[in-house]
């Protein structure tokens, strides 16, 4: 094996011959004997993030094309399957009336408030049950029974207590967000490494400081997973609340469109729920990356 140094316009280059094959090292990058290989090594054609973003649009584009073909083939009537153009026209019509943005804002506000309340309570109760045997005995059986109650079973009771107002909807969403966070936090805290906890206590950490400094960072991936499930549950419970007891919002748009035979608006509401749900989930993903850098 032989080495040869040579000056290069962008920086020093080391050329080595291994078994008759030349390998160049330019500014820390190894390339083969193919001309221009050092440029490929330094400037990848597509980053991993770009591939992920572009790849994520492939299936929606395929589904959109299939939807367009199916809606214009004559196999379905416009009442059964409206075309994408009809759905866009319905969105424009609602936007011009000032209803589309209002419905989106109201539903999003309900979800965010209910999710914040439910997730915070889930974190508190999950920590109590996961860290204390006494609170585990006191709470776990009752909360497990309440968790088994279907979401729609709460609607008549909440309407009876809080009427058709914001309180009933936010409370229902908070119930939906509570249990995923509570379950994941309680289960993960039971499996925190005891040696890690003892090390924290050796440094004088107790109570809330021990939880926030040692135990919570250890179970952070599970907590994030619980938050993502809670956010998805929040949108499910929102639709359940607005389908039955609402005069505004995306859930109301679903029920009103179904009652009036407006399939185009029905599709619009479903697509908006999917898009906004994905956007809010992406926000949790951003928080996950930040928290991993901060405490991971």
Q: Which residues pair with 108 in a beta bridge?
A: none
Q: What is the pLDDT of residues 253-278, one digit of tens each?
A: 998 898 888 999 999 999 999 999 99
Q: What is the pLDDT of residues 31-44, one digit of tens each?
A: 444 444 444 445 45
Tokens of 183: 């379950």
Q: What is the pLDDT of residues 214-244, one digit of tens each?
A: 777 788 888 888 999 999 999 999 988 887 7
pTM of the model: 0.75
Tokens of 41: 């090594």
pLDDT, residue 189, reads 84
Tokens of 107: 């539903």
Cα dihedral sign, 9-12-17-18: negative
How does residue 109 score in pLDDT terms, banded at 50, 70 and 90? very high
Contact (CB, 8 A) for 176 and 151: yes
Contacts 24+ apart (CB under 8 A), 274-278: 276/104, 276/107, 276/108, 276/235, 276/250, 277/231, 277/232, 277/235
Cα dihedral sign, 173-175-178-179: negative
Q: Which residues pair with 131 in a beta bridge?
A: none
- The two beta strands, 21-26 and 2-6, are unpaired
Backbone angles phi, psi at 16, to 5 degrees: -125, 145
Residues sharing a CB contact under 8 Å with residue 67, sequence separation 6 or more, in sequence order: 81, 83, 84
């Amino acid at each position: 094996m032989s080495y040869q140094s040579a000056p290069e316009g962008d920086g020093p280059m080391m050329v080595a011959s291994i078994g008759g094959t030349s390998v160049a090292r330019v500014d820390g990058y190894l390339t083969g004997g193919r001309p221009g290989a050092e440029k490929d090594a330094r400037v990848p054609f597509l980053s991993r993030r770009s591939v992920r973003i572009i790849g994520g649009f492939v299936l929606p584009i395929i589904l959109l094309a299939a939807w367009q073909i199916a809606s214009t083939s004559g196999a379905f009537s416009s009442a059964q399957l409206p075309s994408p153009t009809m759905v866009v026209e319905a969105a424009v019509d609602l936007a011009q009336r000032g209803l589309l943005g209002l419905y989106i804002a109201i539903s999003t506000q309900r979800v965010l408030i209910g999710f914040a309340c439910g997730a915070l309570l889930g974190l508190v109760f999950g920590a109590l049950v996961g860290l204390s045997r006494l609170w585990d005995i006191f709470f776990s059986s009752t909360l497990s029974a309440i968790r088994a109650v279907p979401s729609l079973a709460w609607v008549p009771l909440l309407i009876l207590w809080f009427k058709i107002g914001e309180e009933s909807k936010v409370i229902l969403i908070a119930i939906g967000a509570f249990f995923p966070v509570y379950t994941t936090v309680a289960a993960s805290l039971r499996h925190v490494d005891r040696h890690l906890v003892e090390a924290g206590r050796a440094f004088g950490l107790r109570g809330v400081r021990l939880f926030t400094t040692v135990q919570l960072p250890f179970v952070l991936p599970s907590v994030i997973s619980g938050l993502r499930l809670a956010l998805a549950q929040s949108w499910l419970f929102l639709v359940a609340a607005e389908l039955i007891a609402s005069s505004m919002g995306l859930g109301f748009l679903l029920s009103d469109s179904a009652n009036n035979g407006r399939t185009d608006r029905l599709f619009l509401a479903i697509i908006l729920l999917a898009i906004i749900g994905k956007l809010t989930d992406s926000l949790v993903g951003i928080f996950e990356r930040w928290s991993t850098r901060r405490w991971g």
